[in-house]
């Protein structure tokens, strides 16, 4: 991988996160979720967020994000496999936004507290599953938020 470009992107993401924390312009939980997912994407672990991997449904209702596989199932396909959806519509849109938009727009979204909670639970677990060791910067970010 182009580690120079990746390192620059990671640094920019961290600096933007810290700036937003210092300015208190976005909820801490949102900054943390963006940092977790985007840094994992920058490290080369882009999840498959286009549609349900079973039936190709794109949106509508709750979805299940498979942490291990990095794939989506719609609510119906998830329930058919005995899985409870872990994303509502807002959280799914935010997940796609964080993974796919250009750098400077990555923090530019708003979410209800309920959707943000769902998003945060998924991004934290996905980051933990994808990174052998937790990012030192993530530990740092957690310490800043406490």
Q: What is the pLDDT of residues 29-62, one digit of tens each?
A: 999 999 999 999 998 999 999 999 999 999 999 9
pTM of the model: 0.89
The whole-angstrom separation of Cα 16 and Cα 121 is 21
Cβ contact 71:55 at 8 Å: no
Structure confidence at residue 133 as a pLDDT band (50, 70, 90): low
Using DSSP bridges, classify how beta strands 48-52 and 71-74 pair: parallel, antiparallel or unpaired: parallel
Q: What is the DSSP letter of 93?
A: H
Whether residue 1 is predicted with pLDDT greater than 60 in this model: the reply is no
Say which residues have a Cβ less than 8 Å from residue 18's Cβ, sequence separation at least 6. Answer: 144
Q: What is the DSSP letter of 68?
A: T
Mean per-residue pLDDT, 92-100: 98
């Amino acid at each position: 991988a182009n580690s120079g470009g990746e390192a620059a992107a990671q640094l920019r993401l961290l600096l933007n996160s810290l700036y937003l924390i210092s300015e208190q312009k976005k909820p801490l939980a949102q900054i943390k979720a963006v940092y977790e997912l985007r840094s994992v994407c920058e490290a080369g672990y882009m999840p498959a967020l286009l549609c349900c991997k079973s039936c190709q449904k794109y949106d509508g209702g709750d979805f299940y994000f498979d942490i291990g596989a990095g794939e989506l199932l719609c609510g119906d396909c998830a329930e058919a496999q005995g899985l409870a959806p872990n994303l509502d519509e807002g959280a799914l849109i935010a997940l796609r936004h964080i993974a796919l938009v250009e750098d400077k727009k990555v923090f530019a979204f708003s979410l209800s507290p309920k959707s943000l909670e769902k998003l945060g639970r998924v991004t934290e677990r996905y980051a933990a599953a994808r990174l052998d060791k937790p990012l030192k910067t993530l530990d740092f970010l957690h310490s800043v938020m406490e």
